[in-house]
Amino acid sequence: MTTAATPYHPGERTAQARAGRTERADHAGRSIRTTIPTVAARFLGERRTVVIGAADLDGRVWATQLAGPAGFLQAPDERTLTVAAHPAQADPLAEALTRPARVGTIALDAAGRRRMRLNGRSRPDGRGGLEITAEEVVSNCPKYIQRRTPQDRPAGPPRAVASGAVLTTAQRLAVATSDTFFIASTGPDGSVDASHRGGLPGFLQAVAPDRLRWPEYPGNSMFLTLGNLELDPRAGLLLPDWETGGALLVTGEARTDWSEEARQGVPGAERMVELAVTGVLELADATPLTWTDPEYSPAIPR
């Protein structure tokens, strides 16, 4: 639980201290808001997609993606985000978001290398969409965002094409070529956060059908994701398929390896995270968009 003195909960404080970034975190924490600035409201209104993280009815944490025309996200006031979309029936969060839920969201502008997070409490709006009351609003730096431009394409509703407890060979190959994923995690009070990770293809590894591993590069020193994982290992990953509009959703439990040995031989890595996979869902037509080939972020370690 956060206090008036700090926006961070004990897990985040532990991660910041382990990394030697407490002072930097205190400085960065000044940018964490409970309201939506005007510039952020304008940014949200221009987006075509948003990533949402939440727990399903069994308590497993997932990250999924919603899409719509520009304007499907709106901030009618400084504490509210409306989403004119809802997860499709095949989505693991479809049922959970038909009722009040804690959610984490992140909106990404790949073409402009911008992103912002908004975490809070969601409820159905009675019109097939969601209304989210903001509790934490964070604008992040452009680090590790691959520049891409969206393109419209004909698409039906999202549909499941494969599901299971572990990754198939084809899904492991998709992981090996991924340069971006999103991760949802949960805090000690039930709050949910959604965040972004980027790197060169291969930075995310499927080291086994039931195990993923990735490096943590230098970031904003808040440690919102790793701080959550210090106290609760549940996590969900979303891997967009930029070429087809599909998506790979993975849920499991993650732990951070802070040892120097773990990151040896991994350029730029400050620590490594490993996810034990417990569920996988592959969606076709997750969005009505495809994207141009990437221009990789100059911040990525080579």
Residue ranges per structural domain of the chain: 10-291
pLDDT, average across residues 244-268: 97
User: What whole-number distance in Å separates Cα of residue 203 and Cα of residue 266?
Assistant: 9
Burial class of residue 166 (count of CB atoms within 10 Å of its CB; 0-12, 13-18, 19+)? middle
39-97: pLDDT as tens digits: 999 999 999 999 999 999 999 999 999 999 999 999 999 999 999 999 999 999 999 99
Nearest-angstrom CA–CA distance, 109 and 219: 18
State pLDDT tens for residues 284-298: 999 999 999 999 999
pLDDT value at 260 more than 80? yes
Residue 205: how many CA atoms within 13 Å on its side-chain side? 11
Alpha helices in 202-266 (DSSP H): 224-231, 260-263
Closest CA to 225 of 180, 273, 297: 273
The 10s digit of each residue's pLDDT in 126-160 is: 999 999 999 999 988 899 999 999 999 998 889 99
Residue 23, classed as helix, strand or coil, is helix
The DSSP code sequence of 204-250 is SEEEETTEEEEEEPP--S--HHHHHHHH--EEEEEEE-TTTS-EEEE
Q: Which two tokens stand for residue 138?
A: 């964070």
Residue 275 pairs in a beta bridge with: 212, 254
Place of tokens 């808040």: 222
CA pair distance 17, 184, nearest whole angstrom: 22
State the average pLDDT over residues 263-280: 97
Quote the pLDDT of residue 141. Answer: 85
- The pTM score is 0.96
- Residue range 10-291, CATH number: 2.30.110.10
